[in-house]
Structure 1
């Protein structure tokens, strides 16, 4: 036991792993108090995710939009802004993609890329609105992004209902085959799971995220403005321009996620009474991933596995959805609250320094 403790306390990079274990342990306690078998529940979770190729493919599909929205939120956080509007940017990206996908007849090598680009730009524009209001009017971006989430929902519903609606349906027309980004061959290998090019684009987006922030002059200015806008302005940087740019780029990431979800999974957009939820999940993904590109990918994997595997816990172990949400929330809590994990491990670190842990 002491060797296990030493393994987790020796390297700070293993703190997130310890946090996940603590979250699962806490979730097990909650299930025991509720009269459920945590061992059966967790076994069902992993069997649901990794039990066959179809479920593995569907888990990858679940992870993909979370990477995009996580990158969107993380980019804003890195530049000193709070993008709570990835949800609305995701919706606008979906709307842009479904508009191009249904209303134009183009060759596939033009149609799909154009739909993705339009969706990304529309998401970026939606984010830039909050950036402009912050830069030019001093309006807090938290307020405007939250409000724009619901404006995007009702605007999308209006446009679908009046311009893109399929006859007799509560949804848009289905996108043309030339706009689809499905991976048919790979999908067949994974038991016809809804796999698409989005996972590759998501990894490329994470790479672009890193390059922009850490390898470009613009990225340096964005981070400088976020760290200290007054010092950045004194150094000759255009603070207002960088605020707008940061929110625009963050919106592009979320818009990409929305466009790819429409073009690769659903093929249409519904008239909905609620937001899809990927943007709000992206906030947790960004926090868990410490606002880094690689961290967001791993956090999205964790979040996607927990969410997709929850169905196994419900149907196999009989765990109600409310308890499952507590389990997922406890894992997120311990991963996000790394300071609490370090505090819990502090006595073991002292023993290690004193030579008690061997």
Structure 2
């Protein structure tokens, strides 16, 4: 019998189904969930909300007044803290999800539609930033890409005369192409010269700001005819995104386009060969180059697609949210907020979708918190910043909530190992 023949029974035996060990399997699954990034992200949000609650309590006048006689009546201070924090987050819910004080369901659901409207550009821009992250690129140029997309879409929507829906489609495509080309500048510089994309995209942001300012101040380009203000004319009705739920709500079809972008980006990254090359270059460009992948061409492709996604955010702002004309602040900080959304979503399309919805709720509900409870709107911004801080420090989050650290045995496993060691030492001494 040959060596090869003696190995066949062993391989067949190894391929035979083994009896499943359910406790170990469930334990491994739970450990994977506990040490995974998704759970860490959730606890990062929880930690940020807790810190935000402390800030709300410390800045509330009633809490400050009750704290003056805390040792005489500690219940008053605790009650004031509960009312301050509970009232603030109740107002956040009423302003972003559903207003229970409304006279009808149609009015009560309006805050949710506002949340979806604010989340639309955050989702689209977050996809552009997250896609670049997956390929190992830091697309910090969301502001510039949005502004150039807004300029192109705004020019088509105000200067051209086309019927609906052709006018809307042409303006939409023009904006997406403008965003892609603006990001492509950084991509080609990265591919050809090795210029760092962080530097080039930041510089392109500044160029876009001043270029748009020139366009808005020049007759015949973007400035409204007969006006000296740096603002465009209203978008033509044939180029405005239709409203999804009628004139009573401001939610437009840009939200549906953002959902389509999420689905396309997910398919691109997880099911296409191009997405595989993106992820391979992001993991290790040297290994990808050795495997025959053109790293420079991949960088250019990534930035073009990322810029197109960010451009969709700029188009939705111009043709959907601000159709009555826009000025130089049309990006509204979304280009930089998209970085936060991408980080919170772990650069995964579905994660970015939920992160965009969360930040849209913060933005919408923050105004209600300030108006009804007197909570400074800056606290919402602090909570958003804390989310990023905690996401950037996962060991801190795991330590705060007692989660196991990756690569380290759990407390139960360490105790079991200690018991085994002591038992072995006792047996050795007895022997």
Determine which of 233, 242, 246 is the counterpart of 1:187: 246
Q: Does 1:329 align with 2:389?
A: no
Runs of 4+ in 1 over 6 A off after TM superposition: 351-355
Instruction: From the superposition, tell whether residues 229 and 14 of structure 1 become closer, same or farther in structure 2 (CA, over 3 Å).
Output: closer
Q: Does 1:311 align with 2:329?
A: no
Q: For 1:114-160, what per-residue CA distance to the aligned partner results, in whole angstroms no more than 9, with x for missing partners? A: 11111001000000000111111111100110111121111112123
Q: Does 1:341 align with 2:405?
A: no
Determine which of 213, 223, 247 is the counterpart of 1:165: 223
Correspondence for 1:45: 92
Q: For 1:166-196, what per-residue CA distance to the aligned partner results, in whole angstroms no more than 9, with x for missing partners? A: 1224311111111111216x133xxx22111
Mapped to 2, the partners of 1:218 and 1:351 lie a distance apart of 43
Mapped to 2, the partners of 1:325 and 1:301 lie a distance apart of 15
TM-score scaled to structure 2, two decimals? Answer: 0.75
Mapped to 1, the partners of 2:192 and 2:404 lie a distance apart of 51
Instruction: From the superposition, tell whether residues 39 and 336 of structure 1 become closer, same or farther in structure 2 (CA, over 3 Å).
Output: farther
TM-score scaled to structure 1, two decimals? Answer: 0.89
Q: Where in structure 2 are there 5+ consecutive unaligned residues? A: 1-29, 62-83, 100-107, 417-431
Instruction: From the superposition, tell whether residues 226 and 351 of structure 1 become closer, same or farther in structure 2 (CA, over 3 Å).
Output: closer
Specify which structure has the higher proportion of helix: 1
Mapped to 2, the partners of 1:268 and 1:157 lie a distance apart of 18
Mapped to 2, the partners of 1:224 and 1:9 lie a distance apart of 27
Structure index of larger Rg: 2
RMSD: 2.3
**Larger relative contact order (CA 8 Å, sep ≥ 6):** 1
Aligned partners of 1:98 and 1:268 also within 8 Å: no
Q: Where in structure 1 are there 5+ consecutive unaligned residues? A: 1-7
Counterparts of residues 99-138 of structure 1 (less than 5 Å): 99-138=155-194
Tell me the number of residue pairs that the alignment of Structure 1 and Structure 2 aligns. 344
Aligned partners of 2:151 and 2:222 also within 8 Å: no
Q: For 1:173-232, what per-residue CA distance to the aligned partner results, in whole angstroms no more than 9, with x for missing partners? A: 111111111216x133xxx22111111110110111111122222221222222222222
Mapped to 2, the partners of 1:187 and 1:286 lie a distance apart of 31
Instruction: From the superposition, tell whether residues 338 and 203 of structure 1 become closer, same or farther in structure 2 (CA, over 3 Å).
Output: farther
Instruction: From the superposition, tell whether residues 294 and 274 of structure 1 become closer, same or farther in structure 2 (CA, over 3 Å).
Output: closer
Q: Does 1:177 align with 2:222?
A: no
Mapped to 2, the partners of 1:105 and 1:239 lie a distance apart of 42
Mapped to 2, the partners of 1:178 and 1:272 lie a distance apart of 23
Aligned-residue offset at 1:332: 4.0
